[in-house]
Structure 1
Amino acid sequence: MRIPRLNGSRGAALLVAGAYCFARGVAYLPIVGNVPTSLPAGLELISAVISIEVWAGIWMIVGIGCVLRAFSTADAIAWGLLTAIMTAWGAAYGLGWLIAVAGGQPSREWLNMSTYLGPAIIIAILSIPRARKVPANAP
């Protein structure tokens, strides 16, 4: 039996991402004592599309996918799913913040937005394939 090998620093980063996503999923489960009486506007918006409990499952599935792909060089799908879910949530919080500001309500949802979109943008930038350098004396 072959022991799976971590895909270097990319794999290590996916293990961290997997733990991050799984923890987010658990945080949104309706566990006794863990159900808020009201949601921030961003979560209200995103839960209008899909319930928070379903989002919890999606976060956990993405987390498991990240952990499994941490041991493979074919990890693009894990990075893509991670970036997609973070972008969706960041956009929802951003829209929630804009709605609050437009309605004259104080809001710090811009901060939640930045904690999702900042890492998503970093991951997207780091995922851009590098151009191969052609030696100056190449034909």
Structure 2
Amino acid sequence: MRHLQALRQRVGRRGAALLFFALLDIIYAASLTTAPPNGPYLFLDSLMPLSTWASIWACVGGLCAIQAFVVTDRVAFAAASALKVVWGLTQLLGWMFGEIPRGYVAAAVWLAFAAFVQVIAGWQEPPRRGV
């Protein structure tokens, strides 16, 4: 129990959020590796192969996981937010070109998620022991 409490103190609220983002990004990366290049994925695959998109999502997830344990975590928050903005805007473009029928919904969700990442990035917390 003491180890869990020490880990929680070391990671803090910002680090916990980064671990959550890492989990989501890595799961999303895995889903892109098995997504068929049809429907909304056809448009995304035409911009960049889905395997490349998956690699980007996995790299950002890995960065978030690593920086959850260090004091300087701004790069992870910036990458997590930027990826979601790019993904949301790509969904919006797909909708505008008639390739993703409900792309505006996905765009709204991803852009709101990016804003949420930025809100958490602004959280202040006491200094923690870094690696």
Structure 2: where are the runs of 5+ without partners?
125-131
**Alignment partner for residue 96 of structure 2, among 95, 98, 108?**
98
Runs of 4+ deviating beyond 4 Å: none
Greater gyration radius: 1
Among 118, 122, 126, which residue is 1:124 paired with? 118
Supply the AA of the counterpart residue of 1:39.
G
- Aligned-pair identity in percent equals 25
Q: List aligned pairs for 1:1-139, cutoff 5 A.
A: 5=7, 6-30=10-34, 35-36=35-36, 38-40=38-40, 43-100=41-98, 107-127=101-121
Amino acid at match of 1:121: A
Aligned length: 118
SS of the residue corresponding to residue 16 of structure 1 reads: helix
Q: TM-score, normalised by structure 2?
A: 0.77
Change (3 A) 1:106 1:54: closer
Point out the structure with the larger helix share: 2
Matched residues in 2 for 1:60 and 1:128: separation? 24
5+ residue gaps, structure 1:
131-139
CA RMSD across the alignment: 2.5
Give 2:129's aligned residue: none
